[in-house]
Amino acid sequence: MSCTSCSTDSSGVPNGCKSNGNCATGSCDKLTVFDWLSNMSLPSGQAPFNIVEVRFKNGRKHFFKNESLQLCMGEVVTVEGSPGHDVGTVSLTGELVRIQMKKKGVKIDSEEVKKIYRKASQRDVDIWEKARNKETETQRRGREILGRLGLKMKLSDVEYQGDGNKATFYYTAEDRVDFRQLIRDLASAFSIRVEMKQVGLRQEAARLGGIGSCGRELCCSTWLTDFRKVNTASARYQQLSLNPQKLSGQCGKLKCCLNYELDTYMDALNKFPKQETVLKTEKGDAVFVKMDIFKEEFWYTYKGDSFKWYKLDLEQLNEIIDANKGGEVISSLEDYELELEPEKKVNFEDAVGEDSLTRFDQPKQNKRRRNKKRKPSNSSNQQKKNPNQQNQQSQGPPKKKGTYPQGNQQKQGDGNKSKPQGNTQGQDSNSKPNPKNNRNRKPRPKQNPTKSNQKDA
């Protein structure tokens, strides 16, 4: 709970008044009604309406008679209780109270309308705050007593009366529960008068509050006062999937917001043909699959071949239905589908001087393509290398013992003929010489057999 009048800490986060639904400024209240007649004066001779609306914990409101007090919205008053007295905050005064009573079906002379004793004194406020501080501990101990008795009921909330002599226990249960022993145990444990009040699941969610799937506070705890019946037909008319996890709210029932746009959908569906209508073609009967209500587009498929869907607009569909009523059978749905123009894709337009929201998004690359770019082929590597490296490669691999350089003589020319280097004794006698390597070498001189014989001798 926080509003513009609440203080903030050093980081700028509002501390909140911690009034839990009883803000003095009326900015944090649940189910607050705006008094749009507050700045208008009454006609001459007309007395102000003597009934005011008083709000209690979690948005609970009642009407009380005001005899002679000058009250305005936000004032704390002491009102009649049953028994004793209660303390609440004035939430509405003036002629709008008459409209609220008519809306809720409360008569002016009803016994439900009790009277206001006085404006709350400081002693009344102290007793009221002391009683409210005990509500959390009372709820915890009450749940322990429930577990010990083994009753199938859920204790959702506890509300103390302003004088601290009475507490109302709100619970939910699926079946009828005998809680006579529970009342005795609670009365003896807390020394107070106990009142048990059963509420529905929606009323429980409205009292406790919360955040819905839309990201906002629950409608039942902020502005929704009457709970209309919601059924699955509302979801069917709006072409929603009947998934209970998506259609149900925090109370476990269907969401109240399913009824908000139902009238708009019903008006749009009045001019559409029935979904049970079967289209007769030469290829076979076609049945309804789905539709887009606001775009007025329909999808049909053949009974024998349901793998392909054919899109039609409202004008084409009415034309086919009128032809079938006249006894004419159309050729096929493909002829009508080809007449539809492809949708034009609307790109981002910088009309206000803003950039696209996806301007920082980078396209995702495939890992395989990325690896291919990182590891190019050998031919491309050789082309990208420096000319000095190409010259080194052209000279062949590093020279080893017992081998001759390959192809040096062809690139260096006749003037740069190289001589064999290294020791030739390490060569294998069985290996054959490569003719390409010996192309530019000088032939060895033949040895004289007589001289070799003489040396051996």
- Lowest mean pLDDT across 24-33, 181-190, 308-317: 24-33
Residue 406: pLDDT above 60?
A: no
Pairing status of strand 310-313 against strand 297-302: antiparallel
Instruction: Using pLDDT thresholds of 50, 70 and 90, give the confidence band for residue 353.
Output: low
Cα torsion 200, 206, 211, 212 to 10°: value is: 60
* CA 180 – CA 428 distance, rounded (Å): 112
Cis peptide before 435, with omega less than 30 degrees from 0? Answer: no
pLDDT for the residue numbered 452: 45
Question: Of 4 and 237, which is predicted with more confidence?
Answer: 237
* CA 457 – CA 454 distance, rounded (Å): 5
pLDDT for the residue numbered 271: 87
- Lowest mean pLDDT across 260-269, 291-300, 402-411: 402-411
Pairing status of strand 61-65 against strand 114-119: parallel
How confident is the prediction for the chain on average, in pLDDT? 78
* Residue 311 neighbours by CB distance under 10 Å: 16
* CA 414 – CA 185 distance, rounded (Å): 119
Q: How many residues does the chain have?
A: 457
In a 13 Å sphere around the CA of 79, the CA atoms on its Cβ side amount to 27
DSSP state of 448: P
Structure tokens at 82: 């049953």
In this predicted model, what pLDDT tens digit does every residue of 241-255 receive, in sequence order?
Answer: 888 888 999 899 999
* CA 250 – CA 29 distance, rounded (Å): 21
pLDDT for the residue numbered 158: 94
Of 38-42, 146-150, 333-337, 425-429, which has the strongest mean pLDDT? 146-150
Are 202 and 154 in contact, with CB atoms under 8 Å apart? Answer: no
Are 301 and 332 in contact, with CB atoms under 8 Å apart? Answer: no
Of 41-50, 182-191, 402-411, 416-425, which has the strongest mean pLDDT? 182-191
* CA 225 – CA 203 distance, rounded (Å): 10
In the chain the domains, ranked by start, together with CATH numbers, are 51-120 (no CATH), 129-206 (3.30.300), 228-268 (no CATH), 279-337 (no CATH)
pLDDT for the residue numbered 6: 56
SS3 for 164? coil
In this predicted model, what pLDDT tens digit does every residue of 147-162 receive, in sequence order?
Answer: 999 999 999 999 999 9
